[in-house]
């Protein structure tokens, strides 16, 4: 009987942990969506796109905010506000992933991921003669 | 050509050697050529590595790899590092380690009498790695890579593209080689486990694997730790650990290795948990392959801060193929031997060390699975056709509080309890001191300001573990130095967790603007930005500025040196930022640079061409923007100018030219033009309009004569208490693992045995077990 009790206990603990794991997974999963979808849901999401080079990004050192305009695959644009400075490699980035949510028509980002041709592989692929 | 061909040749030889070793298992005469084959392969890989290193040192830019990752303007240590900074080079470094360690493995396996099996597996792994090198050959010429661009054969670019400034850090000299050596060492227990299955010797492989497991865990752990130090010292990588997929994928093999390191001890003692050990060892190795796949195939492109570029379909398929092959071979041996593996009934008494070891290893394995799930979930979701997702760091943090507490309790209990059974009174007496330590320690955590209940609970378990291991370390070190490794590693884990708890609860960060020369008070700290100086002036491909900030409290002072690094690598479009750190015992002062601006007393006026505005300082004066003027270009700097017309009520008007030097896209230097002894006027910057350049705007500044402008250095200033506990704990873990790995070498015979002849096992239980072997399958 003692052995059996031990198994019951172990099984219950395992199930409990799995439940905790699944709930943590669900709570911390952030979906990739389009800008239109991000505006619609207003929840924490991720948007992948490129930054619009016509609109010069600005950094406000008093407010510590970095602003730029993001354009997604569908061609929609949205202003992104990020608390922090311009991330390293921002200029080189071929695409940008922002994580956050839309508040009042602006995307408030907590994280910016710059996706470069590669951080290890370097910039332009043209040897100059 | 020669070098490219050499890679192919050595790969073919490695395959032949591996096959030769397989044949040598049945026919002894093959062992000599196979052995010779390995010698040639080992030397061949070393030669290939040397050729790449020398080509890098001699700036042979006709090789695409050398051209892509280095330049003439690199100091020697970074030049050497550039030889493994990219995909091909790092694969080659890894192969080189495999080849080198292989000589030691061969000698070891020969003494153990398992040379044929061990070396056929090991050389097979090396052959797989070399196959990747065949696909991603580091000696491809630029005219081959860019075949479409009509580059003449034999063309040698004058200079290379250089090394990414983010990698310009001395840790790149240490971290990748150590990490790859760790991955290499994980291969050895795997080869021994498969050899054990192959020979149906399910007990002896464990003794042979123990020192290698210790070594692999120590070296891989050191590699991870160095990676953390590197991340801490370089910005944008999120402290010392960010649960990034690349970081995770080196952690998972480590967790499995450490788990099996503990369960192997149970098997050595009791003969049980045979299946667990084989499975965990195989998993550790497969995790290495999986991590290679994840980080090099480009599948994690959108979720990692430092994943590699997409290597192309062929390399992708190859990586996948290698992983499947590794899993297939392991699965074959596991399935054909599965029944025999379960022969020994497992007895784990409740108050025994073996049970605690098993439960602790379970905790480590669960942690590995959690990290694996978190890292793979985005890919799995995508494969299942569900919407693309990402996992936040919080996932790992939340789950690792209970896992960490579990591991820490068993970390202590496993050493507190004795093998088989521990008398209750002894147990109680031994637990008294650690519990006392935990109460006092947790109280002190509360006292310094830790308020989160979960973190306090985690901290209390760390104190229990620290109490138990600290007492053992102090009281028994003379009597039992062999256990020093375990105690130090276990105490190290506890210290590391205490460091993390402290850091998570007590560190703070503030955003401060520091006008030059003007002290700014932040809490008890008084920050003064004193000035900057240009460093590394011998290199013309960069402009690197070191900013000096003085930090004072009532009784102490420190100087911090954050760095802004403008590099040709990104055409100086933006600076790479490096933090300034003052290392302190209790808490580091950490300053991340954010921005540099010049703040003048100038008032601004924005105008388009033809527009008229009024001076902000004197509204009776009208300003009209006449036209823009481009050039001239002097060296790297372009001079832009605007022509303006100033007019007041008087009929007379002045036409002025306001030039401005563009140092790069973000920094400009206006020339101030005095007007009638009253004020100065200058062009601050131009806001370009891409669609219609004529509609660009000019920002014109006006200031009183003689006003001086000053620089404002914007930083994020933080206090990092407990960070040194993280480093200290990590080092103790590494040293402890090394020590215990070295102790386990004692079980290994020192003299060479003739091939195929097994040495009689030394430990009684092992003898019993091996005699129980069954034949069949």
Min Cα distance A64 → chain B (Å) is 7
- CB–CB contact B236 A88 (8 Å): yes
Whether B405 has a pLDDT exceeding 80, the answer reads: yes
Pair (A107, A97) in one structural domain: yes
Pair (B106, B204) in one structural domain: yes
**Nearest residue on chain A to B715, alpha-carbon basis:** A61
Nearby residues of B433 by Cβ (< 8 Å), 6 or more positions away: B467, B471
Pair (A17, A67) in one structural domain: no
Q: Which of B161, B511, B577 sits opposite A64 (nearest CB)?
A: B511
- The C-alpha atoms of residue B693 and residue B690 are separated, in whole angstroms, by 6
**Nearest residue on chain A to B388, alpha-carbon basis:** A32
Q: What is the mean pLDDT of residues B250-262?
A: 97
B570 vs A contacts (CB less than 8 Å) = 89, 91-92, 123
Cβ contact B122:B185 at 8 Å = no
Does residue A38 belong to any structural domain of this protein?
yes
Whether A91 has a pLDDT exceeding 70, the answer reads: yes
- CB–CB contact A46 B235 (8 Å): no
Pair (A3, A51) in one structural domain: no
Pair (B591, B633) in one structural domain: no
Q: What is the mean pLDDT of residues A80-101?
A: 83
The pLDDT confidence band at residue B763, using thresholds 50, 70 and 90, is: very low
Does residue B766 belong to any structural domain of this protein?
no
Q: What is the mean pLDDT of residues B296-312?
A: 62
- Which tokens in the block code for residue B360? 């602790």
**Nearest residue on chain B to A113, alpha-carbon basis:** B305
Cβ contact A102:A39 at 8 Å = yes
Whether B603 has a pLDDT exceeding 60, the answer reads: yes
B305 vs A contacts (CB less than 8 Å) = 113, 119
Pair (B536, B626) in one structural domain: no
Does residue B255 belong to any structural domain of this protein?
yes
A61 vs B contacts (CB less than 8 Å) = 513, 594-595, 597, 712, 714
Burial class (CB in 10 A: 0-12, 13-18, 19+), B29: exposed
Whether B60 has a pLDDT exceeding 60, the answer reads: yes
Pair (B472, B485) in one structural domain: yes
Nearby residues of B1 by Cβ (< 8 Å), 6 or more positions away: none
**Interface with A, mutate which of B238, B366, B395, B716 (most A CBs under 10 A):** B395
Q: How far is CA B660 from CA B465, B642, B655, in A?
A: 65, 9, 17
Write out pLDDT tens, residues B318-350: 889 999 999 999 999 999 999 998 877 777 888
Whether B24 has a pLDDT exceeding 70, the answer reads: yes
Does residue B496 belong to any structural domain of this protein?
yes
B15-24, B35-44, B85-94, B176-185, range with the lowest pLDDT: B85-94
User: B121: closest CA among B29, B179, B186?
Assistant: B186
Q: Which of A24, A62, A91 sits opposite B570 (nearest CB)?
A: A91
Q: Does B86 touch chain A (CB under 8 A)?
A: yes
The pLDDT confidence band at residue B747, using thresholds 50, 70 and 90, is: low
Whether A3 has a pLDDT exceeding 80, the answer reads: no
Going by their DSSP bridges, the two strands B557-560 and B563-567 should be labelled as unpaired
Q: Does B89 touch chain A (CB under 8 A)?
A: no
Whether B241 has a pLDDT exceeding 60, the answer reads: yes
Pair (B624, B496) in one structural domain: no
Q: What CATH number is given to the structural domain containing A45?
A: 2.40.50.140
Q: Does B666 touch chain A (CB under 8 A)?
A: no
Q: Which pLDDT belongs to residue B303?
A: 55
More confident residue, B666 or B80: B80
B597 vs A contacts (CB less than 8 Å) = 61
Q: Which pLDDT belongs to residue B774?
A: 35
Does residue A47 belong to any structural domain of this protein?
yes
Separation of first and last alpha carbons in chain A: 82
Does residue B409 belong to any structural domain of this protein?
yes
Pair (A38, A71) in one structural domain: yes
A60-74, B36-50, B186-200, range with the lowest pLDDT: A60-74
Mean predicted lDDT score pLDDT of chain A = 81
- The C-alpha atoms of residue B206 and residue B101 are separated, in whole angstroms, by 19
The pLDDT confidence band at residue B755, using thresholds 50, 70 and 90, is: very low
Nearby residues of B634 by Cβ (< 8 Å), 6 or more positions away: none
Q: Which pLDDT belongs to residue B506?
A: 94
DSSP string, B539-608: -TTEEEEEEEEEEE-SS-EEEE--EEEEEGGGTTSS-EEE-EEE--SSEEEEEEEEEEEEE-S-EEEEEE
Q: Which pLDDT belongs to residue B665?
A: 60
Burial B644-661 (b: 16+ CB within 10 A, else e): bebbeeeeeeeebebbbb
**Nearest residue on chain B to A20, alpha-carbon basis:** B399
The pLDDT confidence band at residue B299, using thresholds 50, 70 and 90, is: confident
Pair (A46, A22) in one structural domain: no
Q: Which residues pair with A81 in a beta bridge?
A: A67, A108
The pLDDT confidence band at residue B17, using thresholds 50, 70 and 90, is: very high
More confident residue, A66 or B763: A66
A33 vs B contacts (CB less than 8 Å) = 387
Does residue A121 belong to any structural domain of this protein?
no
More confident residue, B761 or B637: B637
Residue found by looking up tokens 């009024």 in the block: B614
Pair (B472, B610) in one structural domain: no
User: B105: closest CA among B37, B188, B25?
Assistant: B188
Whether B150 has a pLDDT exceeding 60, the answer reads: yes
Q: Does B312 touch chain A (CB under 8 A)?
A: no
Pair (A16, A42) in one structural domain: no
Q: CA neighbours within 13 Å on the CB side: how many for B217?
A: 31
- The C-alpha atoms of residue B409 and residue B401 are separated, in whole angstroms, by 12
Q: Does B598 touch chain A (CB under 8 A)?
A: no
Does residue A125 belong to any structural domain of this protein?
no
Q: Which pLDDT belongs to residue B650?
A: 66
Write out the residue range of the structural domain in which residue A59 sits. 31-115
Q: Which pLDDT belongs to residue B25?
A: 92
Q: What is the mean pLDDT of residues B130-150?
A: 89
Burial B395-418 (b: 16+ CB within 10 A, else e): bbbbbbebbbbbbbbbbbbbbbbe
Pair (B276, B176) in one structural domain: yes
Q: Which pLDDT belongs to residue B70?
A: 93
- Which tokens in the block code for residue B539? 């290199």
Q: Which pLDDT belongs to residue B372?
A: 94
Pair (B15, B121) in one structural domain: yes
Q: Which of A30, A61, A120 sits opposite B712 (nearest CB)?
A: A61
The pLDDT confidence band at residue A2, using thresholds 50, 70 and 90, is: low
Does residue A127 belong to any structural domain of this protein?
no
Write out the residue range of the structural domain in which residue B449 sits. 423-506+723-753
B392 vs A contacts (CB less than 8 Å) = 28-30, 99
Does residue A120 belong to any structural domain of this protein?
no
- CB–CB contact B402 A20 (8 Å): yes
Pair (A9, A70) in one structural domain: no
The pLDDT confidence band at residue B776, using thresholds 50, 70 and 90, is: very low
Share of residues in chain B with pLDDT > 90 (%): 56
**Nearest residue on chain B to A61, alpha-carbon basis:** B714
More confident residue, B80 or B766: B80
Whether A129 has a pLDDT exceeding 60, the answer reads: no
Pair (A50, A95) in one structural domain: yes
Q: Which of B166, B387, B574 sits opposite A32 (nearest CB)?
A: B387
Report the number of distinct structural domains present in chain A: 2
- Which tokens in the block code for residue B655? 């036409």
Whether B771 has a pLDDT exceeding 50, the answer reads: no
Residue B346, SS3?
A: coil
Nearby residues of B274 by Cβ (< 8 Å), 6 or more positions away: B202, B203, B267, B341, B342, B343, B344
Q: Which of A24, A30, A59 sits opposite B389 (nearest CB)?
A: A30
Q: What is the mean pLDDT of residues B479-500?
A: 94
Pair (A40, A19) in one structural domain: no
Pair (B231, B260) in one structural domain: yes
Q: Which pLDDT belongs to residue A9?
A: 85
Q: What is the mean pLDDT of residues B573-593?
A: 89
Q: What crossing angle do the helices spanning B204-233 and B723-743 adopt, rounded to 10°?
A: 160
Does residue B775 belong to any structural domain of this protein?
no
Write out pLDDT tens, residues B640-684: 888 888 887 766 788 888 888 877 666 677 888 888 777 888 888
Whether A121 has a pLDDT exceeding 80, the answer reads: no
Write out pLDDT tens, residues B721-746: 999 999 999 999 999 999 999 988 87
A30-39, B74-83, B342-351, B660-669, range with the lowest pLDDT: B660-669
Residue B746: φ, ψ to 5°: -60, -30
Q: Which pLDDT belongs to residue B302?
A: 57
- Which tokens in the block code for residue B256? 């499995």
Say what the pTM is. 0.86
Q: Does B388 touch chain A (CB under 8 A)?
A: yes
Report the number of distinct structural domains present in chain B: 4
Does residue B771 belong to any structural domain of this protein?
no
Q: Which pLDDT belongs to residue A125?
A: 42
- CB–CB contact A127 B155 (8 Å): yes
The pLDDT confidence band at residue B353, using thresholds 50, 70 and 90, is: very high
B257-271, B373-387, B509-523, range with the lowest pLDDT: B373-387
Burial class (CB in 10 A: 0-12, 13-18, 19+), B643: middle
Pair (B541, B501) in one structural domain: no
Pair (B383, B430) in one structural domain: no
Q: CA neighbours within 13 Å on the CB side: how many for B289?
A: 25
Min Cα distance A50 → chain B (Å) is 13
Q: CA geometry: angle at A123 spanning B289 and B666, to 5°?
A: 130
- The C-alpha atoms of residue B551 and residue B530 are separated, in whole angstroms, by 10
Pair (B144, B263) in one structural domain: yes
Write out pLDDT tens, residues B429-480: 889 999 999 999 999 999 999 999 999 999 999 999 999 999 998 888 888 8
Pair (A98, A47) in one structural domain: yes
Pair (A9, A40) in one structural domain: no
- The C-alpha atoms of residue B90 and residue B309 are separated, in whole angstroms, by 14
Mean predicted lDDT score pLDDT of chain B = 88
Does residue A126 belong to any structural domain of this protein?
no
Pair (A50, A6) in one structural domain: no
Q: Which pLDDT belongs to residue B254?
A: 98
Q: Does B235 touch chain A (CB under 8 A)?
A: yes
């Amino acid at each position: 009987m003692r052995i059996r009790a031990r198994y019951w206990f172990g099984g219950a603990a395992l199930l409990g942990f799995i439940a905790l794991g699944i709930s943590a997974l669900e709570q911390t999963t952030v979906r990739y969506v389009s800008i239109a979808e991000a505006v619609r849901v207003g929840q924490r999401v991720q948007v992948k796109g490129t930054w619009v080079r016509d609109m010069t990004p600005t950094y406000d050192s008093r407010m510590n905010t970095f602003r730029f305009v993001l354009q997604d695959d569908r061609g929609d644009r949205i202003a992104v506000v990020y608390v922090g400075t311009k991330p390293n490699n921002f200029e080189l980035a071929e695409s940008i992933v922002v994580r956050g949510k839309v508040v009042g028509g602006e995307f408030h980002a907590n994280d910016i991921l710059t996706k470069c041709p590669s951080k290890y592989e370097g910039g332009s692929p043209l040897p100059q003669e | 050509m020669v070098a490219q061909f050499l890679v192919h040749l050595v790969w073919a030889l490695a395959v032949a050697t591996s096959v030769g070793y397989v044949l040598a298992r049945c026919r002894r005469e093959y062992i000599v050529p196979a052995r010779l084959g390995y010698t040639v392969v080992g030397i061949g890989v070393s030669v290939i590595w040397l050729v790449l290193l020398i080509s890098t040192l001699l700036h042979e830019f006709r090789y695409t790899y050398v051209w892509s990752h280095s330049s003439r303007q690199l100091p020697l240590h970074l030049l050497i590092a550039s030889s493994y900074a990219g995909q091909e080079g790092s694969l080659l470094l890894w192969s080189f380690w495999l080849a080198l360690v292989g000589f030691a493995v061969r000698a070891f396996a020969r003494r153990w009498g398992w040379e044929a099996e061990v070396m056929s597996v090991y050389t097979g792994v090396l052959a797989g790695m070399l196959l990747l090198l065949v696909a991603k050959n580091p000696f491809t010429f630029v005219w081959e890579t860019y075949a479409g661009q009509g580059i003449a054969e034999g063309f040698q670019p004058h200079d290379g593209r250089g090394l990414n400034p983010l990698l310009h850090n001395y840790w790149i000299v240490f971290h990748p080689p150590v990490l790859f050596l760790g991955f290499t060492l994980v291969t050895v227990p795997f080869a021994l486990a498969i050899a054990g299955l192959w020979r149906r010797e399910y007990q002896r492989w464990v003794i042979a694997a123990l020192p290698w497991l210790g070594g692999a865990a120590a070296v891989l752990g050191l590699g991870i730790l160095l990676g953390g130090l590197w991340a801490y010292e370089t910005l944008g990588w999120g402290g010392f650990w960010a649960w990034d997929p690349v970081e995770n994928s080196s952690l998972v093999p480590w967790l499995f290795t450490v788990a099996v390191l503990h369960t192997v001890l149970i098997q050595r003692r009791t003969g049980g948990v045979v299946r667990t050990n084989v499975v965990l060892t195989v998993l550790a190795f497969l995790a290495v392959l999986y991590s290679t796949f994840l980080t090099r195939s480009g599948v994690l492109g959108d979720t990692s801060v430092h994943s590699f570029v997409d290597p192309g379909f062929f390399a992708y398929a190859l990586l996948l193929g290698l992983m499947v092959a590794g899993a297939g071979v392991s699965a074959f041996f596991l399935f054909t031997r599965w029944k025999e593996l379960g022969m020994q009934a497992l007895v784990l008494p409740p108050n025994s060390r073996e049970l605690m070891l098993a439960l602790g290893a379970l905790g480590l394995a669960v942690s590995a699975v959690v990290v694996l799930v978190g890292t793979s979930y985005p890919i799995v979701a995508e494969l299942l056709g569900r919407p693309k997702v990402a996992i936040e760091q919080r996932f790992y943090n939340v789950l690792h509080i209970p896992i960490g507490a579990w591991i820490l309790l068993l970390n202590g209990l496993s050493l507190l309890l004795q093998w088989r059974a521990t008398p209750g009174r002894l147990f109680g007496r031994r637990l008294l001191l650690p519990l006392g330590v935990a109460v006092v320690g947790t109280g002190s955590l509360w006292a310094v300001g830790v308020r989160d209940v979960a973190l306090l609970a985690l901290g209390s378990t760390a104190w229990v573990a620290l109490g138990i291991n600290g007492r053992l370390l102090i009281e028994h070190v003379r009597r039992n130095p062999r256990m020093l490794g375990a105690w130090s590693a276990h105490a190290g884990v506890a210290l590391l967790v205490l460091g993390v708890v402290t850091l998570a609860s007590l560190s703070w960060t503030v955003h401060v603007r520091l006008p030059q020369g003007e002290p700014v008070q932040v809490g008890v700290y008084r920050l003064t930005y004193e000035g900057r100086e240009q460093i590394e002036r011998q290199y013309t491909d960069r402009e690197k500025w070191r900013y000096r900030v003085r930090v004072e409290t009532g009784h102490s002072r420190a100087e911090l040196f954050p760095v802004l690094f403008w590099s040709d690598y990104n055409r100086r479009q933006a600076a790479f930022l490096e933090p300034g750190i003052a290392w302190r015992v209790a808490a580091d002062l950490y300053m991340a640079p954010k921005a540099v601006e010049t703040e003048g007393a100038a008032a601004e006026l924005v105008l388009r061409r033809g527009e008229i505005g009024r001076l902000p300082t004197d509204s009776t004066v009208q300003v009209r923007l006449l036209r823009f003027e481009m050039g001239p270009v002097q060296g790297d700097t372009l001079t832009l100018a605007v022509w303006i017309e100033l007019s007041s009520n008087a009929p007379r008007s002045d036409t002025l030219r306001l030039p401005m030097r563009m140092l790069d896209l973000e920094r400009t230097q206006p020339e101030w033009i005095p007007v009638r002894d009253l004020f100065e006027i200058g062009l601050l910057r131009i806001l370009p309009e891409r669609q219609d350049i004529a509609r660009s705007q000019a920002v014109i500044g006006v200031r009183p004569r003689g006003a001086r402008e000053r620089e404002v250095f914007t930083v994020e200033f933080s206090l990092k208490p407990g960070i040194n506990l993280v480093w200290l704990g990590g080092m103790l873990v590494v040293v402890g693992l090394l020590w215990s790995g070295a102790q386990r070498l004692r079980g290994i015979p020192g003299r060479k045995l003739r091939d195929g002849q097994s040495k009689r096992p030394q430990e009684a239980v092992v003898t019993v077990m091996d005699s129980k072997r069954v034949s069949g399958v």
